Amino acid sequence: MPTILIVSAIVLLVIALVSYAIINEALEKRRKQRKRLLTALSQRQRMFHDMLTTFPSGFLPKELHNLVCRVLLDTAEHLSRLEPKNATHLEAYRNYSEQLEASHNRPATAVGRLESANQANGVRKQLQELYRYVIQQSELGHFNKVQTQAYREQIKRLALQMSVETYALQARQAQQLGKFRLAIHYYTLARKLLFREDVNHDFQKQIADYDTRIKTLEKQARELADHGGEPKDSKVAAMDSEAQKEWERLGEEEAKWKKKNLYD
């Protein structure tokens, strides 16, 4: 009888130890999953918050701006459930709610402009991140095809606008330095981008504006040459070469866009 009790006690102990191990493993797995989720949500919050601060005011159309705000709202809500004692999540939720409300009241005609090449680089990276998010959510079934196509077209149009404005900015800087031929080059690159994408004749006015600017600059360049203006030096040639590299990089980016679109 005592032997049976001892064996029974050993069996119960083994069962208890196994149960403890299973429960402990499940808890550890849950802790790891929670930690990974917190990390992913925090990264998403930082990325989309950076979008609000990186994009010039009015740069994003209402639909995309509202999308960014809704993502931030959902993220803050998830974080507050995971960390209910962290008051910053609730404060972030209130802040993004206010921004979303302000977006609803923003005039549809508001347009943000780029002010520097450095700003353009930051905007380009954020647009790529936003594009990847849209594709990811579409593949997960959170966006239907109509929504996905609308978001993609808006982002692509913004990418075009950003590239054109970057060239125009470089052209104005070159013109201020008296480098008229370099300014012509940058305006020509901007015009080529618009002309290539002008399937629905949406950019005719802007193309005509650049045509006018180029003609004015050509006249100024001839006048400068007639008065013994200096030929293009090595520094200008280097800048000109860099402009061509930028054009080639833009072509590569456009090819990537098209490859990504094949999933449809």
pLDDT digits (tens, 9 = 90+) for 7-45: 666 777 777 677 767 776 666 677 888 888 888 889 999
Cβ–Cβ under 8 Å, residues 120 and 166: yes
For residues 131, 134, 138, 142, the Cα torsion angle rounded to the nearest 10 degrees is 170
Residue listed under structure tokens 């490859």:
259
pLDDT value for 54: 82
Q: How far apart are CA 66 and CA 60, in angstroms?
A: 9
The single-letter DSSP state of residue 261 is G
Q: How many CB atoms lie within 10 A of CB 151?
A: 22
**Higher per-residue pLDDT: 160 or 227:** 160
Token pair for residue 144?
A: 């239907």
pLDDT at 207 over 60: yes
Token pair for residue 154?
A: 């808006």
pLDDT tens for each residue of 105-139: 766 555 567 777 778 788 888 888 999 999 999 99
DSSP of 34-56? HHHHHHHHHHHHHHHHHHHHHSP
Residue listed under structure tokens 């009888």:
1
pLDDT band for position 262 (cuts 50, 70, 90): very low
Backbone angles phi, psi at 215, to 5 degrees: -60, -40
pLDDT tens for each residue of 240-253: 444 455 445 545 55
CB neighbour list of residue 216: distance below 8 Å, 6 or more residues apart: none
pLDDT value for 247: 45
Cβ–Cβ under 8 Å, residues 163 and 250: yes
pLDDT value for 76: 93
Q: How far apart are CA 179 and CA 64, in angstroms?
A: 38
Written as one letter, the residue type at 145 is K
pLDDT value for 75: 92
